[in-house]
Chains A and B, each alone.
Chain A
């Protein structure tokens, strides 16, 4: 579904991605983990067309999409839920969701928009309760739900999620990750998720890549990675064994 080959991205003269390769198969949930400043957000932004890679190939659905503008990638069904959510804070929950469907053709919208909205309200009932409220007044968890809901309104076939658990209480994290797992099951939505919460990420994802200073330093099945002593020490902490039920 998605394949990156030796992708390099720069900020001016600073190299943030030093040639990363990864792939995500259709219907798969894959995680990218790594320390602050590793280049995780840069990787997602390069895939979604916010940044243009200096070299390398990005293939989505069999087409080379490196350097393509974000709007055409949204049209192809690749939608990003960004770091920091990037909601439209002065607008209502409803308006935020409607803008998620911005790129959908008007014919498609008329017939299915209402249904899609209802389905998002089913997934996140709290958003329905708050639909007239300004997005800026929502709690952190509700904002993350809205960011995901907004992306879902575009009917994505693949979601890029950037640190969905950031700043959220453990229960809310659990809920969000359950939604991600359900999306894969029910809609076959492919997911590439960036996480600092490695434990949660490895639970939901089948495979993962470890990114450090712009390079993929490790990759493999989540079950293997979570047993890896290096990963346990660096990302899962001492209490890890203790926390696993």
Chain B
């Protein structure tokens, strides 16, 4: 039971990160029908920029600057996708994002090198030791509480943004009916850029949060991006709620699988892809969505 609880804690905190990345996929997909395979690189940019800055400044400065850097990369990618958006097939744009992710990673490696950079725990005892709490027999790190707390905040903030603000409504309107959006005077292109900026901002927040206590590396984006992608597809692309639930479920299943098949511990990362393949074969619209939904 204690082992179960311990694994559950790990699973939930990992799953939260997947959930945030999944929201990013959905935001861009809803606005453009493009699956942005550079989503994982936003996570990496956030983590790397924070790690680089933390050598000189405190987290309170490094965190927001890392988010801004992520947003900037998002805006640039958004502009790059926007230029050919009308003429090119969606598939070409998706391939473009794959190219962009390789480019971003390559540039990061040129700039920062291959070495991992240490990012301290947000509220740890020291760089390498976190505060811990005992909850229901499981040891919970303060960083894991940060992860869950930040995820909850982001989910609420995203929800309120899309539901109650004019800009959020306008973004949903563009996704639902671009012609109608244009006729009420919404600048659809601006909204598309904004969706990239938001996805990148969310990704870089996830990046800083997940890197704390472990290393930030230029190559960390690929795996996290793919897990987030799995979550987004499982939840039904374009459905935020679905992606969040699927992300957390994915983290939990990944962690608990060793209870069922102990030999899986080395292949944990494969779990997501096996599930994804099964779902794509059996229920391609996602397990959690009845139809293609937005918000």
Contacts and interface: CB of A to CB of B under 8 A. Distances in A.
Interface of A: 48, 50, 69-71, 74-75, 79-80, 82, 85-91, 95, 98-100, 102-103, 150-151, 154
A103 B182 contact: no
B22 interface: no
The 6 closest A-B pairs by CB, nearest first: A86-B180, A74-B185, A103-B185, A71-B185, A88-B176, A88-B173
A87 B184 contact: no
A164 to B, nearest CB: 14
- Tell me whether chain B's interface is mostly helix, strand or loop, or mixed: helix
A70 B187 CA distance: 9
A102 B185 contact: yes
Nearest to A70: B182
Interface in B154-205: 166, 169-170, 172-173, 176-177, 179-187
A82 B179 contact: yes
Contacts of B179: 50, 82, 86
A33 B295 CA distance: 40
B135 interface: no
Given A88-B177, A91-B169, A95-B169, 4 more contacts: A87-B177, A89-B176, A89-B177, A102-B185
B176 A82 contact: no
Contact of A90 (B166, B176, B183): B176
Interface of B: 166, 169-170, 172-173, 176-177, 179-187, 293-295
A150 B186 CA distance: 13
12 contacts: A48-B183, A50-B183, A70-B182, A74-B184, A80-B183, A86-B180, A88-B172, A91-B169, A98-B166, A98-B169, A102-B185, A150-B184
Most buried by A among B169, B176, B180, B185: B185
Contacts of B295: 90
B24 to A, nearest CB: 20
Nearest to A81: B183
Contacts of B173: 88, 91, 99
Contacts of B177: 86-89
Contact of B184 (A50, A85, A90, A103): A103
A99 B293 contact: no
A79 B181 CA distance: 12
Most buried by B among A48, A86, A88: A88
A146 to B, nearest CB: 11
Contacts of A154: 184-185
Contacts of A150: 184
A88 B180 contact: yes
Contacts of B181: 88, 99
Contacts of A99: 166, 169-170, 173, 181, 184, 186
Given A82-B180, A98-B166, A102-B166, A90 B172 contact: yes
B155 to A, nearest CB: 20
Contacts of A85: 180
B183 A86 contact: yes
B185 A75 contact: yes
A10 B177 CA distance: 24
B176 A91 contact: yes
Contact of B170 (A79, A90, A102, A151): A102
